[in-house]
Amino acid sequence: MRFDILTLFPAMFTGPFTESILKRAQQAGLLDIVLHDIRAYATDKHKSTDDYPFGGGAGMVMKPEVLYRALAEVLGMGAVVQAEAEVLVPLPAERPPVLLMSPAGEPFTQGMAEELAQAPRLVLICGHYEGIDERVRECCVDREISIGDYVLTGGELAAMVIVDAVARLQPGVLAAASTDEESHSDSLLEYPHYTRPAVWRGQPIPAVLTSGHHANVHRWRHEQRLLRTLQRRPDLLQRAVLSEQDREYLRRHGWGTSLLPDDPAAS
Ligand code: 6GU
């Protein structure tokens, strides 16, 4: 899978993309991450990429022409856009999804990561300053994505989060087993993990884990997932697929007795 990232700060991506799993996946040819410096497409001698907002107000706005040229180049229509300075040349209909990182976007979820992971290529635009000129968003952005309800200084960290979450779903990037029983893929949190020593500073591990009884280990882990989700993220239980046995277990542990609005059994 290929990711094209348009950013004013390409150096921010060294680290997250040059270490560990994403590094290995790129070396193995499973992943191709291409950074594009938006400033390289500035047209004036000062290489300016932002300007004052019409109508006044705080902050700066990313200039439309600079971002548009960067996008055109990445999508292989740079020459056309260069030749036509006066008209808006539409992006090719057959294009990879163009995603804008923005705190005003759709909330990013595991479900969205799974959906995006189906595409062979994604283009991510990292917004900066107060945002991008609305006209470029209208012509050229397919989807705006936010990684949470807080404000970052720019879209770079959000792009790193999205690339990481999508890349790890590509076949071969992770050991297969680690993506199916994990937090969020089925709306339940993960069970607790333990490794050696079996007693650490006087703290033993749960006895079931060394019982050798595989079915009991499996059931214990599943119950731990239910319990943790109930205690920490009861909102997730609304979309989890639960058996009648699961519901019964959850009720025994207080599900449905809470007055919190998040608890579906309360309403
Ligand atoms: Cl995508 N960008 C910015 N600037 N802030 C954010 C965000 C994105 N997602 C959450 N906060």
Instruction: Give the residue extent of every domain in the chain.
Output: 2-176, 199-266
First to last CA, the chain: 44
Question: Which has the closest alpha carbon to 219: 184, 191, 253, 255?
Answer: 191
pLDDT at 30: 97
CATH class (in words) of the domain with range 2-176: alpha beta
Q: Whose CA is nearest to atom 7 of ligand 1?
A: 103
Second CATH level (architecture) for the domain 199-266: Orthogonal Bundle (1.10)
Number of Cα atoms under 13 Å in the Cβ half of residue 160:
15
pLDDT at 261: 60
pLDDT at 185: 73
Cα of 160 from ligand 1 centre, angstroms? 11
Q: Do the bridges between strand 131-132 and strand 143-146 make them parallel or antiparallel, or are there none, so unpaired? A: unpaired
Under a CB-based contact definition with an 8 Å cutoff, are residues 91 and 71 in contact? Answer: yes
What are the pLDDT tens digits along the chain (267 aa)?
A: 999 999 999 999 999 999 999 999 999 999 999 999 999 999 999 999 999 999 999 999 999 999 999 999 999 999 988 888 899 999 999 999 999 999 999 999 999 999 999 999 999 999 886 899 999 999 999 999 999 999 999 999 999 999 999 999 999 999 766 776 666 778 999 999 999 999 999 999 999 999 999 999 999 999 999 999 999 999 999 999 999 999 999 999 999 986 766 555 554
Residues 6+ apart with CB under 8 A from 181: 190
pLDDT at 57: 95
The whole-angstrom separation of Cα 109 and Cα 148 is 9
pLDDT at 260: 63
pLDDT at 175: 78
**Do 2-176 and 199-266 have matching folds?**
no
Give this prediction's pTM: 0.92
Which residue of 125, 128, 141, 147 sits with most ligand 1 atoms within 8 Å of its CB, as the best mutation to test the pocket?
A: 147
The whole-angstrom separation of Cα 187 and Cα 233 is 10
Question: Which has the closest alpha carbon to 225: 178, 190, 182, 181?
Answer: 190
Does the CB atom of residue 54 touch ligand 1 within 6 A? no
Residues 6+ apart with CB under 8 A from 30: 1, 170, 171, 172, 173
Which residue of 12, 102, 160 sits with most ligand 1 atoms within 8 Å of its CB, as the best mutation to test the pocket?
A: 102
Nearest-atom number in ligand 1 for the CA of 100 is: 1
Cα of 135 from ligand 1 centre, angstroms? 20
